[in-house]
Amino acid sequence: MVATAATSSIFPIPSPNQDSGAKNAKLGPGSAGLGLKSKSASGSLQVKANAQAPSKINGTSVGLATVESGKNGDDMSSPPARTFINQLPDWSVLLAAITTIFLAAEKQWTMLDWKPKRPDMLIDPFGLGRIVQDGLVFRQNFSIRSYEIGADRTASIETLMNHLQETALNHVKTAGLLGDGFGSTPEMSVRNLIWVVTKMQVVVDRYPTWGDVVQVDTWVSASGKNGMRRDWILQDCKTGQILTRATSVWVMMNKLTRRLSKIPDEVRGEIEPFFMNSPPVVEEDSRKLLKLDDKTADFVRTGLTPRWSDLDINQHVNNVKYIGWILESAPLPILESHELSSLTLEYRRECGRDSVLQSLTAVSGADIGNLGSNGGVECRHLLQLEEGAEIVRGRTEWRPKYANNLGIVGQLPAESA
């Protein structure tokens, strides 16, 4: 059938009236024996043939037509010749679908082949990070989002700490050491061991603002016999200026017994190949953190409770949340006129979802009512359960706002005064 249709598109099928005329021309008087009757009065042969045409031709409805071969053969009407072209279905819907698929594929390819037009734009658009420096340093870029800035139009300390924590976990994952726990290696997961931070020191030279792209580098080193130190450097992608430096000490804890554990040899064999022999990026603050109480504290905030979203995969409060609770008791005049420049935290115990906490703050060597004439301010902090068990001890140092921009301590820009 296909061959016949294709042939007919090239060689049209002759019209029925043409064949009839040709046969009539050849028929003579002896053809009456074939069943054809000759009429001598008219001297011509008259043949009536009834042909039923299809109900639709090329989408047009037609009825039954009677073809009569008679006196006026030239006026006879007949359906158009059946060819391969006019028998094809309507391909417009299929062509439209194919065009849509190709346009969508081109759009996706354009997104994957995207390249920054300016050097200060995000080079790592998907934020996946990569291993650099002989496989020992993990590097990841972050764009400061609008919801990550505070009243000062700069990124909050919690935002920076979340970026540090994210790079630490991605470092373990990219290195192929991530087990089924929160940053645990496969050997740690078998033994129900998890990492917990015991000390954190952070120095902030400048806070990034909305739209800035920051680059975070992190690596690990040994810390004593049963500890690990992790360092971070956060810098501006555009200028290369170092914005934040941080160092921390981590130990292992059994997540079932909630007790500290030594590093097993199997775990040590997993992590030691990634250790760098380098000093901490922040010099250790050896000053002892003194305990506060209701008598020595200047400000106390009570009734602090963790929300469900504050818990991590190990079912204890994320250590970044502790920083927010500590700052809950910081006096408002300090928050309005100063910015946090350094932070030292000592974690004493974990906090669960049913805990109720108190935040205590003592301001050292400053008149709270006259902070504008002072330079830096130092505060001591304590986060504890209501029954008195310590969670975190801390020390914060504060510098006047805009000091980095103007070089004049305590002076505000005219438009902000």
User: Which of 253, 356, 255 has its CA nearest to residue 315?
Assistant: 255
Q: Which two tokens stand for residue 315?
A: 């079912």
DSSP character for 14? P
**SS3 letters for 286-320?**
CCCCCCCCCCCCCEEEEEECCCHHHECCCCCECHH
Amino acid identity, residue 268?
A: R
Q: Which residues contact 369 (CB under 8 A, 6 or more apart)?
A: 333
User: Is 379 designated active site?
Assistant: no
Alpha carbons 282 and 245: distance in angstroms, whole number:
7
CB 215 within 8 A of CB 237: yes
Residue type, 361: T
Helix H or strand E segment including 328: helix 319-328
Contact 298, 362 (CB under 8 A): yes
Helix then strand then coil, % of the chain, to nearest 5: 30, 30, 40
Known catalytic residue at 163: no
Nearest CA-CA partner of 355 in 296, 398, 283, 303:
303
Among 251, 253, 284, 288, smallest CA distance to 394 is for 288
* Active-site pick, 316, 319, 338, 379: 316
Alpha helices, H only, 31-91: none
> Of these residues, 162, 192, 314, 374, which one is catalytic?
314
162 is catalytic: no
Question: What does the H/E/C string look like for 260-283?
Answer: EECCCHHHHHHHHHHECCCCCCCC
Amino acid present at 91: W
Q: What gap in Å lies between CA 224 and CA 65, rounded to an integer?
A: 104
Pick the catalytic residue: 318, 351, 379, 381? 351
Phi-psi bin for 184: left (phi > 0), alpha (psi -120 to 50), beta? beta
In which residue are the tokens 């603050």 written? 285
Residues annotated catalytic, as ranges: 314, 316, 351
